[in-house]
Amino acid sequence: MDVTDFYGIEESPADRGSNGSKRLVKNWGAQFSTQKPLGLLNHGVTCYTNAAVQAMIHIPAVQHYLVDVLQGKYKDTINPRSVSQVLAETSARMWGLEKIAHKKGGPKFINPKKLIGRLDDINCMMSEWQQEDSHEYFMSLLSRLQEDSTPKGHKLNESIIYDIFGGSLDQLVTCKNCGHVSKTQQEFYDLSLHLGTSRKNSQTEPIDKEELSAIQQQQSLDEAESKHRFSINKSIRDFFSPELIKTDRSDKSGYVCEKCKKRTNAIKRSTIDRAPETLAVHLKRFRFNGNSSSKVKQGVSYPLILDLSQYTTRHEPVLYQLISVVVHEGRSVSSGHYVSHCRQPDGVWATYDDEYINIIPEKQALRDPSAYYLIYTRLTHKDVKQGSDVVKKATNMKPTPVPSSKAPTPKSSQPPKSLSPTTKKMKSLRAGIITPSVPDPSLVQKSPQAPTSRKQKFKGLKPTNNLGNLGGKQQKRYAKDSSGNASKRFRKY
């Protein structure tokens, strides 16, 4: 895939994404071009909320939406006492959008007291006084924003939050007896990936090489992986690989074909029908066994540019660029410390460690071995019309093959076309693009819903079957920590 066929971040002022949204604003624009958000005061052990909020407000489309909320664009939908309103006010203070802008030598952080006070409305199972899962908080906040922005009588996928985060999968199950293909569609809001091992406790098994090649042409299975780190490449390939549904006639389990009505083995695979404009990638570091939990501490490698083109239903070109990395430092889900590395509007990366902000080189943001979840923004293909609601059909958008290094360069009297700094940088990264191989339907996140009860905790956000819960936190906490001691114990500077 040639990255120069895509607009770089901030390259096209009229960029509204690839899905034809009328409401989406993908770039920061002049309003934020020179702005850098402030840090957030830690209320004891609220680093998990601070890291998630920084990742959220560093998504341009989300921040533009929050500005619209403050300006009353959604006054007929957004309750002035809603979480969305509180987050919009908090982000305005962080970005210096209020009457009093950031002053030189002034405070470098704000107190998010009002937002912390709405924690029960965001996730009723979380506490301000004990360490919680930052990814779960991020997804819960996303869910609340989506509900707030959905007009009464409308579906959740009609909200602007769906325009930003929503994707859908075509799920195909092929009967091994009669060859009938059953197709369903399911929405997803993030990808939750296992590290190192294949999906366990599943009713399915990966199919062998012969069956795999019969379904689709796979990329080489002998790709070299890092000896010291897990690779997102391998995790995504495992997530998207076709699987064999095995039938056990003794206990009458397995797949029953809707056409031949027989209980038989089947092949299941999925393709991306709608690639989201913003992709959250969650790494399943926390594992649970009865009343105990453990953390996968091995490092993880992840790319700046992520290519999911081969997994799309219509084989459309789909590239993503990394914009935030949320890191967990510590031994378990109930202890440790969260920080976030975020790409600022001017392209500079910074580490947000509660109240403290440190400028870092991009390569440092790309090499943090303790990464827990990643935020990617989709790059818009240049075949998509900009500043218009009309988007070319994906079937007409053919991936551009990477030219051979041995191909002759045509002579031209014209001077070489100059590239923007972003495009030059992206082009230099072509060799490092990761092209992850069709997802298990049981791994797909459902559309977020409002928390209603402890039994129905985040019903819409809870992944099906073997995906596990958000952030791996489903059981009760194993260690509760007081606010005073926790502040000293957990925080690292």
The number of beta carbons lying within 10 Å of the beta carbon of residue 250 is 6
Task: Measure the CA–CA gap between 427 and 309, rounded to whole angstroms.
Answer: 17
Is residue 430 in a domain? no
- Which H/E stretch holds residue 136? helix 134-148
CB-based contact 57:340 (threshold 8 Å): no
Q: Helix 83-95 and helix 60-70: axis angle, to 10°?
A: 110
Where residue 177 falls (left for φ over 0; alpha for ψ -120 to 50; beta otherwise) is alpha
Is residue 486 in a domain? no
The label of the residue with tokens 């006492």 reads 81
Is residue 326 in a domain? yes
pLDDT value of residue 249: 73
| Cα→Cα distances 172→182, 218, 423, Å | 6, 17, 37
- Which H/E stretch holds residue 211? helix 209-215
What residues are labeled active site?
Answer: 47, 337
- Which H/E stretch holds residue 343? strand 337-343
pLDDT value of residue 292: 63
Reference 46, options 139, 136, 134; nearest CA is 134
Reference 191, options 432, 473, 456, 439; nearest CA is 439
Q: Per the structure, how many domains does the chain have? A: 1
The label of the residue with tokens 């910074």 reads 350
Note the helical H segments in 34-118.
47-57, 60-70, 83-95, 113-116
| Cα→Cα distances 278→337, 342, 361, Å | 25, 14, 23
**DSSP 8-state assignment for residue 329:** E
CB-based contact 204:440 (threshold 8 Å): yes
Reference 381, options 391, 366, 371, 368; nearest CA is 391
Around 380, how many Cα atoms within 13 Å sit in the side-chain half-sphere? 26
Find the radius of gyration of the CA atoms of the chain: 23
Task: Measure the CA–CA gap between 36 and 54, rounded to whole angstroms.
Answer: 11
**DSSP 8-state assignment for residue 82:** S
Is residue 454 in a domain? no
pLDDT value of residue 97: 84
- The residues near 122 (Cβ < 8 Å, ≥ 6 apart) are 83, 137, 140, 141, 144
pLDDT value of residue 22: 85
Is residue 146 in a domain? yes
- Domain containing 359 — which CATH number? 3.90.70.10
CB-based contact 251:260 (threshold 8 Å): no
Is residue 165 in a domain? yes
Per-residue pLDDT of the chain (493 residues), as tens digits, is 788 999 998 888 888 889 988 899 999 998 898 899 999 999 999 999 999 999 999 999 999 999 999 999 999 999 999 999 999 999 999 999 875 445 666 678 999 999 999 999 999 999 999 989 999 999 999 999 999 999 999 999 999 999 999 999 999 999 999 999 999 999 999 999 988 754 543 444 555 555 455 444 444 443 444 445 788 888 888 888 898 998 887 777 789 999 999 999 999 998 899 999 999 999 998 776 667 666 888 889 999 999 999 888 998 999 999 999 999 998 777 788 999 999 999 999 999 999 999 999 999 999 999 999 999 999 999 988 765 443 343 334 444 343 333 444 444 444 444 445 544 554 444 444 444 434 444 433 434 444 444 334 334 433 333 333 333 333 333 333 333 333 333 333 3
Task: Measure the CA–CA gap between 450 and 457, rounded to whole angstroms.
Answer: 8
Task: Measure the CA–CA gap between 305 and 302, rounded to whole angstroms.
Answer: 9
Is residue 354 in a domain? yes
pTM here is 0.75
The label of the residue with tokens 């453990």 reads 294
Is residue 318 in a domain? yes
Residues spanned by the domain of 181: 6-198+231-381
Q: Helix 134-148 and helix 47-57: axis angle, to 10°?
A: 50
Where residue 387 falls (left for φ over 0; alpha for ψ -120 to 50; beta otherwise) is left
